[in-house]
Amino acid sequence: MKIEDINMVVTGAASGIGRAFALNFAQLGANVVAFDMNQEGLDALKAENDKIVTYVGSVANEDDVKGAVQAGVDAFGHVNGLINNAGIFRDHLLVKKDRKTGEITTMTLENWQKVIDVDLTGPFLCAREVAAHLVETGNPGVIVNISSCSRVGNRGQSNYSAAKAGLVADTKLWGEELAKHGIRVGAIAPGFVQTPILDGMRPEMLEKMLSVVPLRRAAKPDEIVLAAKFIFECDYFTSRCIDVDGGISM
């Protein structure tokens, strides 16, 4: 698929990697709906590229997802691309005992569910609505799911790891289910990426974290964009996950 032929929805587009996806693909000629809960971030994105259409809402809300896809249809005539990028963290060990007080704390059901809602149910809703639109209109399309190197399991991230592993499993089966409709599905599993979250870390903590990465640095957002660009442009790619993690082993 040629980039200039893509009418896409990018979730979590107001900041970080999502912002890079929206800006880069728009600059390459794609039409983009930037979908996020952060109105201020979307306004800043729009100010940088006024061709980007913005939509405020939550990927975990079914009506909001339908509204974002419809915004693309209204603006561009149809939607044939999706990057499921929106995600949140609510980290905690499954069970933790305080060394000093002996107090036992656990990962709360609320924080488990919040991450599953945004990081797994959200991509399901977005992929379902875009795929249904494509099947109805008879158009081919591409869905890209943003997973994580944490999908193999990372201490303190039971919720996040489960969601990102589930997203890779869904990538495989959605690719198989939708191939007959001309819809390809791929995933990207980034490692550490230079985003505002990393920028806000203490230097010594960031250095320790990156010491386990063979390349000894975080990825630039544009380097993750390259993987998405490959998935969209390579018509023989589907049902697989690309690791862009600097060689890290979790």
- Would you call 67 exposed, middle or buried from its count of C-beta atoms within 10 A (0-12, 13-18, 19+)? middle
Cα–Cα distance between 146 and 245 in angstroms, integer?
A: 12
CA distances (Å), 243 to each of 177, 226, 228, in order? Answer: 23, 12, 11
Sign of CA dihedral 175, 248, 22, 111: positive
Find the catalytic residue in 160, 174, 192, 232.
Answer: 160
- The phi and psi torsions of 150 (rounded to 5 degrees) equal -75, -5
**Known catalytic residue: 55?**
no
Fill in the DSSP letter of residue 211: T
The stretches of 49-142 forming alpha helices (DSSP H) are 62-76, 109-116, 122-137
Q: Give me the active site residues, please.
A: 160
